[in-house]
Structure formats: C-alpha cells, structure tokens
A = this chain, B = another copy of it.
Amino acid sequence: MATIISPKQFSPVEDAENIKKACQGWGTDEKAIISILGHRNLFQKKLIRLAFEEIYHEDLLQQLKCELSGDFQRAISLWTLDPADRDALLAYEALQKTTPDCRAIVEIACTGSPEDLLAVKRAYKFRYKRSLEEDLASCTSGDIRKLLVAVTSAYRYDGDEFDETVAHSEASVLHKEIHEKAFNHEEMIRILSTRSKAQLNATFNLYKDIHGRSITKGLLGGPSDDYFSALRTVVRCIRDPKKYYAKVLRTAINMPGTDEDALSRVIITRAEKDLKEIKELYLKRNNVSLDAAVGRDSSGDYKAFLLALLGAE
C-alpha cells in the first residue's frame, strides 16, 4: 500500500498557482512546495504539470530545477516525473556512473510487471533515441552484461500457472550451476530471464525444499564478484521485492554518510506502491521505524520531503 497522503479534492490550477507563488520573490518557499507536491498522487501531479504548462507556458520541472538544489531538488524532480519516465531517467543515470549501478537496473527489470518494464523501455527510447538494451550492452561487459541485457529484454508471461516438472528440473539446474560455481552461466541466465515469476517462485521453493537452503543463501556462497551480486539482486527482486527494498534502505541509511541516491530512489519509486509494507518490514528487522531512521539521517527540506512521502505525521 501507498504511504503518501493525498487529498480527495484538489484543484490543479490552484496548486500550480501556489507553486508559482512559492517560486517567486526573494528566496523560494520550499515548505509550500513540499506541502503541495509531497501530498499529490500520480494522477494529481500529472494534472498539476499540465495546468502549470497551460498557465505559465513553462515546464514545472524546469521551474523546480531552477529554484531548488541538491538532494532535495533531485528528489522533487524524480517524484514529479511519470513513473515510466522516472525509471528511464534512473536507468540512464545508473548507466552513466563509472561503475554502472546494477541495482537500479535490476529493480526496473524485475520488480514490476512486463507491461511496466515495457513502458520504461518506451520512455527510454523517447528520451534518449536509443534502446535501453543497447545502452546497457555498451556500458557493461562480460557475464554481468549477459545477465542485465537478458532480464531487461525479457517480456515474461505473467499468469499464475506454472509447471511443476519444469520447476523440479530447473531447481536442479540452478543448484548445479551455483554449486559447481560454473564458469558458464548460460542456463541460469536463461531461466532467470525468460521464466514467469510464478514459475520462478515455484522453482525457488523447490530449490529450498530439496537442498535445505534458499537460493539466495546458496548464491552467497559464490564468489563475491559483481556478477554474483547482480544475480542475487535479480533473485531477490523476483522473490520478495518488499524485503529487498527494506534491505536497500537499511544499507543506504547505515552507510557512513548515507547513500542519498538509493534512499531517494526507493522512497520515491515505492511511495505510491508498497512503501507501507516496506516500512513494516523495516521496523521489524531494525527495531526502529523508517520514519525515525530517515529523520535522524537526513536534514532540512530533503528530510521534510522524504517524511511527507513516508506519510509521517
């Protein structure tokens, strides 16, 4: 469930006017901006952008970029974008880093539905005039490239049916490749990138039944290289995205200096989806609420904005 609290009744025109007002004169009224955009859902934000464009002949995002700065500006901009467009931007940024950020890519490829992924790929083509797969393939290499291109290209079946026999045989294949620390990961990549999530979850369950420990534990025993780490991310994003995200938040917050990129990414991309459950998992595992942890680890407008998205009182 979503965490953001948005009003049932609202006026896009009034919101657009109030944001404009907050941007005018000496200094910017960040609080006003947070009180509006931090409490509007997907559809409402879209209408505000349209109204803003209509009234001022200016793009709301451009305006916000000029007025705000730092982590706060980045978070507000990401939040204001349409989800597919936002993911396209996140994927692009992840690829531009010196070492591409596999987590952001795998999250996009493996946590949503096939149609969600497709919408991101469409948005990416529209933004960058190249396909996501093509840029991925240029920016990465070796086994990790094979894995990332495969999961991003996938257009999985998304029904609930699965084949028990396939689950049995592929659980063995996965175990064999992990156990033998195989150099050639072809079968593993094929299975993880083409099978439906229902099928994969059946396979993962059988893996645990037969071998006595989960596949994610099995992968932990592998070499600690980037490929195995990306592989674990794929499995975790398919198996239990909420638990995965709670862990990403924990790592981001516990890192010396806080990983703001990851913190913003998870809160912003999940606030309208399942952030409520992620918060519950976080509390259970860390003995501290996510609101309190974010409140302690961030500051200023950035903190106020994240707390608004978290639905903190």
Q: CA separation between A296 and B77, bound complex, in Å?
A: 67
Interface members, chain A 151-201 (any B CB < 8 Å): 153-159, 161, 186, 190, 193-196
In the complex with contacts A190-B149, A194-B137, A130-B155 CB distance below 8 A: no
A313: Cβ under 8 A from any B Cβ: no
Q: CA separation between A132 and B156, bound complex, in Å?
A: 9
Q: CA separation between A150 and B189, bound complex, in Å?
A: 12
A134: Cβ under 8 A from any B Cβ: yes
In the complex with contacts A118-B118, A194-B133, A155-B157 CB distance below 8 A: no
Instruction: Kindly provide the distance from the CB of A119 to the nearest chain B CB, expressed in whole angstroms.
Output: 11
12 contacts between A and B (CB under 8 A): A125-B155, A129-B159, A129-B161, A131-B157, A133-B154, A133-B194, A134-B157, A134-B196, A137-B194, A149-B190, A153-B153, A155-B155
Closest to A146 in B: B186
Q: Quick one: copies of this chain in the complex?
A: 2
Q: CA separation between A149 and B150, bound complex, in Å?
A: 9
Question: Which B residues touch A146, using CB under 8 A?
Answer: 186
Instruction: Kindly provide the distance from the CB of A3 to the nearest chain B CB, expressed in whole angstroms.
Output: 32
Having A118-B118, A149-B194, one finds 5 other A-B pairs with CB under 8 Å, namely A134-B156, A134-B195, A150-B153, A153-B153, A153-B155
Report which of B125, B136, B159 forms a contact with A157, defined as CB distance below 8 A: B125
A242: Cβ under 8 A from any B Cβ: no
Instruction: Kindly provide the distance from the CB of A227 to the nearest chain B CB, expressed in whole angstroms.
Output: 15
Interface members, chain A 234-263 (any B CB < 8 Å): none
Question: Which B residues touch A157, using CB under 8 A?
Answer: 125, 129-131, 134
A121: Cβ under 8 A from any B Cβ: yes
A133-B161 in contact (CB<8A): no
Q: CA separation between A137 and B132, bound complex, in Å?
A: 22
